[in-house]
Amino acid sequence: MNKADFPIFQKYPNLTYLDSAATTQKPSSVIKGITQYYTDENANIHRGIYDLSAQATQKYEAVRGKVKDYFSIPHLEEIIFTKGTTEGINLVAQSFVLPHLKAGDNIVISAMEHHANLVVWQHICQQRKANLRVIPINQNGTLEMTVLDKLLDERSKLVALVHISNTLGTINPIKEVIKKAHQKNIPVLIDGAQSILYPDLNIANFEADFWVCSGHKMFGPTGVGILYGKRQYLEEMQPYQFGGDMIRSVTFEATSFAKLPHKFEAGTPNIAGVIGLGYALDYLKDIDKYAVNEHLKKLTNEATARLLEIEGLRIIGRAKNKSGILSLVLEEVHPHDAATFLNEQNIAVRAGHHCTQPLMDFYQISGTLRASFSGYNTMEDVEKLVDGMKGMKRFFV
Ligand code: PLP
């Protein structure tokens, strides 16, 4: 993976893009693929008898096959296209957990969840007088696994856990958590929003019951995402939204629903988005993810070592098993001022709470400056970040 594949870096050769955890840049094949769909292939799917519609349907459904192969998902019907991670989690909350959630039950999350994997669980717990239990973390940003055993019991209806923290970069031991939960017959949802470059992204092997992710964080377009769910659960779940495309037959008296996966894809879906996602998966398929991970490790280690030489700079999240995400706090400099300063040097980073406010409370900070690397970043980008932070220190402190 390199910058030449991504047109934005030709448009802005001086851009140091360090915000891939928010959204990745898009390779030209994805951009061209979406343009080609709208230019040459546009038609609505699933309903038309005419050629264009049949071809669009085939192209849309073929992406389900690409998702199946890419993530090693056992069955095509287990793949639901959503508009992103957030929608996937809401779907599982409303259609899987809420109908069975009773007063006194509990849902287990972790202290490092993105608001997308927190607020909806809190909301449905409040609705039903159930309890939200939180797996604590230590100062390094690692889950306190010994506490987990005490949190899981016969009233636990779901464990909802992030695989890779968007703020700390921690890679959680999801296999171990899933095993512990399954020993007590508790299903597990994994938030895989930040996982796309993880080298062994094999959902069947992880044995997660649900997995959610977003196209725009995996080199594809915005407005599209994937929900994987085990067939036995999806079969028994009620639809999330109702309307066209998700029915088998409708009368004024009653409606029967379509089979999986279409039961969960009401209305005209994001056809161009799904097709774009297919091109992103084609791009990713040809990438050596082990090599990309080695590269990311080098960038992260070098940046960590060099940044820690700056007096007054702290890195929030020092787990041993970490991805290419660095959350920085520079004493006496507000993260928004820091990001504005870096922007003056064409360095794009994110500042704030990163949709993890309880995590900010835990570390007793208002926010961080987050630099996140992807496969297209280089040592030169690390240099620029380090120089930028040093310049900032001279300017503000
Ligand atoms: N979970 C994590 C870990 C994330 O990083 C994000 C986005 O930053 C989300 C969930 C929400 O993703 P989306 O906004 O694409 O639905």
Which pLDDT score, from 0 to 100, does residue 171 have? 98
Cβ–ligand 1 contact at 85 (below 6 Å): yes
Which pLDDT score, from 0 to 100, does residue 117 have? 98
d(CA 10, CA 35): 19
- Cα–Cα distances in Å, from 254 out to 47, 211, 355, 359, 362? 22, 32, 41, 47, 50
Query: pLDDT band at residue 48, thresholds of 50, 70 and 90?
Result: confident
Query: pLDDT band at residue 397, thresholds of 50, 70 and 90?
Result: confident
User: Which one of the listed residues 355, 358, 362, 391 is annotated catalytic?
Assistant: 355
Query: pLDDT band at residue 208, thresholds of 50, 70 and 90?
Result: very high
| C-alpha 24, offset from chain centre | 11
Query: pLDDT band at residue 47, thresholds of 50, 70 and 90?
Result: confident
Write down the number of H helices and E strands in the chain.
14, 15
Query: pLDDT band at residue 210, thresholds of 50, 70 and 90?
Result: very high
d(CA 158, CA 176): 15
Query: pLDDT band at residue 290, thresholds of 50, 70 and 90?
Result: very high
Q: Indicate which residue's Cα is closest to atom 8 of ligand 1.
A: 22
Q: Indicate which residue's Cα is closest to atom 5 of ligand 1.
A: 166
Q: Indicate which residue's Cα is closest to atom 6 of ligand 1.
A: 193
Average model confidence (pLDDT) for the chain?
97
* Active-site annotation holds for 213: no
Rounded average pLDDT over 74-102: 98
Cβ–ligand 1 contact at 84 (below 6 Å): yes
**Which residues contact residue 204 at a Cβ distance below 8 angstroms, ignoring those fewer than 6 apart?**
72, 73, 74
> Would you say residue 178 has pLDDT above 80?
yes
Which pLDDT score, from 0 to 100, does residue 194 have? 98
Which pLDDT score, from 0 to 100, does residue 335 have? 94
| 110, β-bridge pairs | 135
Residue of 355, 357, 359, 368 to mutate, ligand 1, most atoms within 8 A of C-beta: 355
